[in-house]
Amino acid sequence: MKLEEAIKENFVRCTRNELRLFCKDAGVRIGPAAGPEMMRRGLLEHFKITDSTPGVVKVDRVVKYRARNEILPPYNLTPEGNWGGRRRRITLGKPLDATKTQKAELISWNCKNPYRVPFNEIEAVPEPIYNTLREKRRSIPTQVTNQQTGEQSTEWIEEPKWPIEDHGVDPDTAGLAGSLREWYQGKGPNWLRERSLVDMQQIADHCGIERQVYRGADAGKPRLMTLAELLPHLMIQFFDFPDVGEYEEDEDETVAKGKGKAA
CA pair distance 42, 34, nearest whole angstrom: 10
Share of the chain above pLDDT 70, in %: 82
The predicted-structure confidence for 23-51, as pLDDT tens digits, reads as follows 888 888 888 878 888 888 888 888 878 76
Question: Taking the domains of the chain in order of start, what are their residue ranges?
Answer: 3-46, 58-178, 188-262
Report DSSP state, residue 226: P
115: β partners: 107
Q: What is the pLDDT of residues 207-220, one digit of tens each?
A: 999 998 876 655 66
Whether residue 122 is predicted with pLDDT greater than 80 in this model: the reply is: yes
Give the integer Cα–Cα distance in Å for 13 and 25: 18
**pLDDT score of 254 more than 80:** no
Pairing of strands 223-224, 137-145: unpaired
pLDDT of residue 3: 86
Spell out the residues 6+ positions from residue 223 whose beta carbon is closer than 8 angstroms to its own.
212, 213, 216
- Tell whether the model's pLDDT for residue 65 goes beyond 60: no
Contact 92, 118 (CB under 8 A): yes
Of the two residues 256 and 196, the one the predictor is more confident about is 196
